[in-house]
Amino acid sequence: MAAEYQGTKFEQSFHTLSKPKQEGGQGYTQIRRLRRDGNCFYRSFLYQVFEHYAIELPQGNYKEQYQALVKVVEESKKDLVDNAGYDEIVLEDFYDVFIENLKKLESLHADWQAQKEGGIADYAAFVDAHLTKVLCNHDEANYIIMYSRFLAAAYLKKNAILFEDFLGESMATFC
């Protein structure tokens, strides 16, 4: 991978990220490539959140936080309509795909166990394959990412006073 970045403006960044911490680097030993299509922030963020809960929930960890997250997302559609100015009909399909995939994380371990005999033997690899399939395709991924964009825009609109000075324009124009 170092050869891929050699001679580019990212060469030094790669060395800093891959260098061990004791040598002043970040200590990362691997990277995960996702689609490079302008949605990389949302895709990476969602991948990390979904992966965290998919791995931790079967071990009995973070159940309360997961349930709180599901509750926030369930209530978010009403908030987007009532407080952010979106029409419910615009949000419905995006919301449905997002919440369906979020709730799917609870049963992912059972799905893995059901297919383990003739499928992927390692649960982490199964989660990776599942999330890559969900978050790197044109169908579901675009709906999940779009709903995330709605949530981010609503947050910016509600907290416009904190961000407008950085924009040089009004939040309504920006969002």
Say yes or no to pLDDT of 15 above 80.
no
Check if the beta carbon of residue 112 is closer than 8 Å to that of residue 123. yes
Phi and psi angles of residue 87, each rounded to the nearest 5 degrees, phi first: -85, 140
> pTM for this one?
0.82
What's the mean pLDDT when you consider all of the chain? 87
Q: How far apart are CA 57 and CA 120, in angstroms?
A: 19
């166990």: which residue's tokens? 113
Q: Predicted confidence band at 59 (pLDDT cuts at 50, 70, 90)?
A: very high
Say yes or no to pLDDT of 89 above 80.
yes
